[in-house]
Amino acid sequence: MTSRAARSAQFGATEGEGIIRCDACPVLCRIRPGRAGACARYANQDGVLVRTDPVVALAHAVDSNAPLVPFAQQEWDGALLDPARAFLTGVGSGTTYPDYKPAPFIVGSTHDGVDTVTVVTEGMFSYCGVKVKIDTDRHLGPEAAAVRVNGEQVGHVTTAEYGSQMLSIGGVRHLTGGSKKEGVVTCDTLLKLCGAEPVEVTIDGGHAVVVQAGAAPIVDGTPETRMRVGCGSAAIGIFAQQWAGHVDEVIVVDDHITGVLTEHQAGRVLDMRPAGIRVRGRRSTPGRYFQVAQPGLGWGGTDITDPLAIIERIDPKLAWPGLRLLFTSTTGDHALYCVLDDALRPVAAEMPAAVRAVVDRIGENCEPSLCSVLFMAGAGGSLRAGVTENPVLLTRSVARGETRVTMGGAPVYLWPGGGITVMADVLRMPKRAFGHVPTPAIVAPIEFTLPRALYERLGGHMDQVQPVEAVLRGLGEDLRVGTWHPANPWPFAR
Ligand code: SF4
């Protein structure tokens, strides 16, 4: 049942005067001929309710050496697509509401002699959001601070990770628990982030950041280029041997852990003479200092612009005139070479080439600064009724790894425990994979792939299974064929 009229009946019902009521979500739009519904995903075209975007199938190369099927748009004929290499995604497939209706497509195919079923739908997610990883040591804002778009709170700063600041955006509280405007702005922000569009956020007590999946963050108008090589202590550990003999002390300035080479275990093992330069902050273990300064946009994610400011004292019993001292940040973006004068005061001097080479190597070892966006959602609710009459069996099967979950063909990380809580990299998904409905909620593709015999045991909608050939043929011009993302595992592989 894939003809346009049949699909129309799946999502709506005809009312008088050519009006069609769209049933695909709780908004239940009444759509006049030639008009689209509130989400623009469905329209009344000559009395037929159509999904305004094509369904996306992805064509897989026969083997890794074979050329991938070129992306085809209007001219592609789905009938030409080898069904054995086709994966029908949820993109453009449509949502079903109320959810007891079977999913829009339940596709049967055979792979390596195994009869397989893929249940294909677009889920409506109120319980969803994105986790944003921003590779930078710049301080963007305090942990737990509000993240805003157009003044509305859409998320918060969450725990920083190694070399990255993290944001949590969206979630049910911002989508549904605040004002209508908060929900609308949150939904719009999620949609843009999931579509790899740039979004400018501001952080209370922090900075303005332009975030875009796959692009470098822009902090207060300045594009970030480098992700730090590690914390100050790690940088000491990595480069200590390369510094030995060329400098007498190295201080690697870092917002979290500032490293001091001769005190650090790395310097001791290399038998370096203690330099007697004590930095500010709280000493954690030898050569590792916390809180040497306030967080900021200066050296190593601190507010330091003059590294000499972090020297608390220089011990005259240990230091000596002529001592060669290097300060560097964890990206190598900032570096200062000094020599102690007769009064044991650091005096800036020209950096020797051998020292410069190691600072440059820090920079060389920094990866490009990027933003990553992972969509996270709970698919363990009513969506499951479109897959099976006994939803808990699906949940258990997913948890056991028998049923594969993909989003637009992209692999998901499945959280342990109850429900079907998944995360997927939006850059592994087809373009324009996400939509929204004004409830507000995000619409995202999701597919469940499993052996046909298992699907039957789970209480699947067996009478709705259609051969993949029939589905592709029936979609006709409503089908768009894209190329399988080469990094995504093929869901039918054993
Ligand atoms: S918002 Fe979209 S999906 Fe929901 S009823 Fe209206 S047209 Fe249909």
Give the distance (Å) from ligand 1 centre to CA of residue 103: 16
2 pLDDT band, cuts 50/70/90, is low
294-347 pLDDT, tens digit per residue, is 999 999 999 999 999 999 999 999 999 999 999 999 999 999 999 999 999 999
Nearest C-alpha to atom 2 of ligand 1 is from which residue?
Answer: 39
- Per-residue pLDDT at 1 exceeds 70: no
Q: Please give the distance of CA 304 from its chain centroid, rounded to a whole number.
A: 31
Q: Decide if pLDDT at 37 tops 60.
A: yes
117 alpha carbon – ligand 1 mean position (Å): 28
Closest residue to atom 5 of ligand 1, CA basis: 28
- Cα of 24 from ligand 1 centre, angstroms: 6
| Ligand 1 and 190: CB distance under 6 A | no
Instruction: Report the SS3 class of residue 269.
Output: helix
Q: Is 334 helix (H, G, I), strand (E, B) or coil?
A: coil
In this predicted model, what pLDDT tens digit does every residue of 369-419 receive, in sequence order?
A: 999 999 999 998 889 999 999 999 999 999 999 999 999 999 999 999 999
The CA 105 to ligand 1 mean position distance, Å, reads 19
Please report the atom of ligand 1 found closest to the CA of residue 28.
5
Q: Whose CA is nearest to atom 4 of ligand 1?
A: 25
- pLDDT number for residue 84: 86
Q: What is the DSSP track for 195-210?
A: TT--EEEEETTS-EEE
- The secondary structure of 113-160, three-state, reads CEEEEEEEEEEEECCEEEEEEEECCCCCCCCCCEEEECCEEEEEEEEE
44 CA from centroid of ligand 1 (Å): 11
Per-residue pLDDT at 171 exceeds 70: yes
pLDDT band for position 78 (50/70/90)?
low
Q: Is 75 left (phi over 0), alpha (psi -120 to 50) or beta?
A: alpha
Decide whether any atom of ligand 1 lies within 6 Å of the 437 Cβ: yes
With tokens 């038998």, the residue in question is 271
The atom of ligand 1 lying closest to the CA of 41 is 2
Extents of the domains making up the chain: 1-52, 57-126+372-483, 128-224, 232-364
- Which among 19, 28, 42 is the best mutation to test ligand 1's pocket, defined by most ligand atoms within 8 Å of the CB? 42
Ligand 1 center to 43 CA (angstroms): 9
Ligand 1 atom showing the smallest separation from residue 37 Cα: 7
Architecture of the structural domain at 128-224: Beta Barrel (2.40)
What span, in angstroms and rounded, lies between the C-alpha atoms of 44 and 8? 9
Mean pLDDT within 438-448: 96
Q: Whose CA is nearest to atom 7 of ligand 1?
A: 37
**pLDDT of 101 above 60:** yes
CA 438 to ligand 1: nearest atom? 1
**pTM of structure:** 0.90
Mean of pLDDT over the chain:
93
3-state secondary structure of 461: coil
Residue 85: pLDDT above 70?
yes
Position 115 pLDDT exceeds 90 = yes
Residue-level pLDDT at 68: 46
